[in-house]
Every structure is written in structure tokens, then in C-alpha cells.
Amino acid sequence: MPNVTAVAISRQFEQYRLTAYWDALALRWTIGWGHTGDDVGADSVWTQTQADADQVARMERVEEKVRSLITIALPSGAIGALISLADNAGIGIEIGSRLIAAINRRDWISAAHEFIDDDHVTGRGEVQGLLKRRLYEAFIFLSSIP
């Protein structure tokens, strides 16, 4: 069962489409709840069941990776915000040393700043939609910390 916070954030900010569309920010074909990959092309069509199953499987994989990097206990909401970030930006891109280091030393403010730092797209600069998502993820992360 995927983290409910991560799924809720994803569903609030991702475009949900059962036919593939060209993501002008990511510069790749996308389908479902933000699925990209070599298996997606201009003619790809999914069912709602496929899209939902893909999102669940993806969130579970990302959660496993996120939990492997965190050395302290975190509330479910904070983990969900991290999963959302990593799923959207890519686990290798966003779950980097500064964010993980800040969390593992319980420096919540620095961790929140790391969320917000990832609101740019190469060659396009800061993107309003990404900034909104990152601010929301940072808010959920901080709100979840006792």
C-alpha cells in the first residue's frame, strides 16, 4: 500500500491522462499519473486501472528508496512529501546529499529549503507550477514534524 500523502500530493499536481501527451517541461512523452519511459510514445493509451497500478507500484519503489536513505524515524506525512518530491523530480536528482543530510541531522528548516530549491527546469529557469508543488511539499513535510 503506497503512502497516502504521497499519492494525494501526486494526484493534486500531476496531469492525469489516459492517452500520452508531450510534457513540454520534461521533454518526454507522459501518460497516467506522470509515468514516463521508453514504453510511452505518441500512440500510447492506458486504462484507468493501468494508470492507478503504475502509480501505486512507482510510489512503493520510491518509498523503499527514500526509507533506505533516512536514518531517523519520520511521520508518515513527512515521508509522503519526500516520496512526492522524489517521484516527481527523480530519486537520483532530488534525494541528494543536502536534503538527506539535513533530515538525518533533524535540521527541518534546511530540509524545507532543499524542497524549494528544486523548482527549476534546465534551460527554462524557475517554473511556477513546480514552485507551487515544492512549497506544498515543504509545508506538508514541516507540518508533519512534531
Q: Report pLDDT for 117.
A: 78
Looking at the domain 4-144, which fold is it?
Lysozyme (1.10.530)
Sort 55 into a burial class: Cβ within 10 Å, 0-12 / 13-18 / 19+.
buried
Q: What is the pLDDT of residues 44-61, one digit of tens each?
A: 999 999 999 999 999 999
Distance separating the N- and C-terminal Cα atoms of the chain: 24
Q: Is the pLDDT of residue 23 over 90?
A: no
Mean pLDDT score, 97-113 = 93
Indicate the pLDDT class of residue 128, thresholds 50, 70 and 90.
confident
Dist CA 74 CA 80 (whole Å): 10
User: Would you kindly state where each structural domain of the chain is located, as residue ranges?
Assistant: 4-144
Its pTM stands at 0.89
